[in-house]
């Protein structure tokens, strides 16, 4: 009985040891796998090199440990390469930053120089423009002064002419009045003398009649036979022949020729000079030069019978120009080789041009 109990006790102890050993192996493998999972290489190497039989006899686990350590070695090498590459990239970035800073500094210095040069050029250009504007202003002032002087001279001449014309008219009026007064005086004197002569003749006739009456006795006085006055037939007044105005021939509209129109025409007077240029391509230009400036008109033309139509597209007065669209119609009163006369809508002579 006691022997059986001992055998059972030994079996129980042996089984307990076996179970305990199995439990330790499981824990050891679990720790190894956990270390692999967490990349705890030191723990993996400690367990792998610890001389644990359960580890050393497990070929699959040994292969796994080998692969893990090889992967870790490669990863470590890659990490070291990455660290070196990062350090090198950092160094390159630092050097590039230095180069960029140097380039930026040079660019800033170049920009400052360029801006300074541009500023100097702008100052020179502005100074030149100011000089040009000053010269132009002086030239304009001189021109305006000359034009004003001409206008003043012209106005003075016009005033002097008007004064002379007024004086001449007054002299002519006074002379005409004096001549009329003298003629009236002469006519009055003649009428007075004639009246006096008629009165004297009548008085003499009366005296002669009175003297003759005294000499002739009353008995012998014979009735004076009064001879009847000779009645003259009234002169028939023949009315002046009324000269009938010549009947104008039926008005035949003048048909103008474009070939005669084409060319350069001029109208020169003391106030202005007009130049009309008519081109074959249906364009025209009219320039009117006066003391105060020049007026230039550009456009196109066309003719129909005795009508000349001008379509004005551009008007320029000295330096001022504007676009327009104005139509003017003129009646051609005369067109010859050397003369062109145009009338406006009011039948006034607008242009009397020659060439």
Residues in contact with 345: Cβ distance below 8 Å, sequence separation at least 6, in sequence order: 329
Q: Based on the domain organization, do 68 and 140 belong to the same domain?
A: no
Q: Can you give the pLDDT at residue 186?
A: 87
320 within a domain of the structure (yes/no): yes
71 within a domain of the structure (yes/no): yes
Last residue of a domain, one of 99, 117, 140: 99
88 within a domain of the structure (yes/no): yes
What range does the domain containing 150 cover?
A: 126-154
Q: How many Cβ atoms sit within 10 Å of the Cβ of residue 44?
A: 22
CA distance 313 to 265: 20
Which one has a higher pLDDT value, 278 or 219? 278
Q: Average pLDDT, stretch 293-306? A: 92
What is the dihedral angle through the alpha carbons of 143, 146, 147, 151, rounded to the nearest 10 degrees? 170
Mean pLDDT, the chain, rounded, equals 82
196 within a domain of the structure (yes/no): no
CA distance 92 to 273: 84
**Nearest by Cα to 328 from 269, 276, 272:** 276
Residues in contact with 298: Cβ distance below 8 Å, sequence separation at least 6, in sequence order: 283, 284, 285, 312, 313, 314, 315, 316
197 within a domain of the structure (yes/no): no
Tell whether the model's pLDDT for residue 229 goes beyond 60. no
CA distance 296 to 276: 10
Q: Based on the domain organization, do 130 and 44 belong to the same domain?
A: no
Tell whether the model's pLDDT for residue 350 goes beyond 70. yes
Q: Based on the domain organization, do 58 and 134 belong to the same domain?
A: no
Q: Can you give the pLDDT at residue 248?
A: 37
pLDDT interval class at 13 (50, 70, 90): low
193 within a domain of the structure (yes/no): no
The neighbouring-strand residues paired with 50 are none
77 within a domain of the structure (yes/no): yes
**Nearest by Cα to 276 from 340, 337, 331:** 340
CA distance 6 to 209: 235
CA 320 to chain centre: 9
Three-state DSSP class for residue 283: strand
pTM, rounded to two decimals = 0.32
């Amino acid at each position: 009985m006691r022997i059986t109990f001992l055998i059972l006790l030994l079996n129980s102890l042996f089984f307990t040891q076996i179970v305990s050993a199995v439990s330790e192996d499981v824990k050891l493998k679990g720790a190894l796998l956990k270390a692999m999972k967490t990349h705890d290489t030191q723990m993996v190497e400690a367990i792998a090199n610890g001389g644990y039989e359960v580890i050393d006899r497990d070929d699959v686990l040994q292969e796994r440990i080998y692969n893990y350590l090889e992967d870790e070695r490669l990863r470590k090498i890659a990490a070291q390469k990455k660290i070196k590459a990062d350090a090198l990239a950092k160094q390159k970035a630092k050097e590039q930053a230095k180069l960029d800073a140097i380039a930026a500094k040079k660019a800033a210095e170049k920009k400052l120089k360029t801006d300074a040069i541009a500023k100097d050029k702008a100052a020179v250009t502005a100074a030149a423009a100011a000089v040009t504007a000053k010269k132009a202003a002086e030239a304009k002032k001189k021109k305006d002064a000359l034009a004003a002087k001409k206008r003043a001279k012209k106005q003075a001449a016009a005033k002097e002419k008007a004064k002379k014309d007024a004086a001449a008219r007054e002299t002519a009026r006074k002379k005409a009045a004096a001549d009329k007064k003298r003629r009236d005086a002469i006519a009055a004197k003649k009428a007075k003398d004639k009246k006096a002569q008629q009165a004297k003749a009548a008085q003499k006739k009366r005296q002669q009649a009175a003297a003759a009456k005294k000499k002739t006795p009353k008995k012998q006085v014979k009735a004076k036979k009064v001879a009847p006055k000779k009645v003259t037939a009234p002169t028939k007044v023949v009315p002046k022949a009324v000269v009938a105005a010549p009947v104008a021939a039926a008005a035949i509209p003048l048909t103008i020729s474009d070939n005669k129109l084409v060319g350069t025409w001029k109208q020169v007077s003391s106030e202005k000079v007009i130049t009309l240029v008519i081109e074959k391509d249906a364009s025209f230009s009219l320039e009117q030069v006066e003391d105060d400036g020049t007026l230039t008109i550009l456009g196109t033309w066309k003719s129909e019978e005795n009508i000349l139509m001008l379509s004005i597209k551009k008007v320029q007065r000295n330096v001022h120009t504007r676009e327009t669209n104005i139509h003017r119609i003129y009646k051609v009163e005369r067109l010859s080789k050397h003369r062109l006369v145009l009338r406006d809508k009011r039948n006034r002579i607008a242009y009397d041009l020659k060439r």
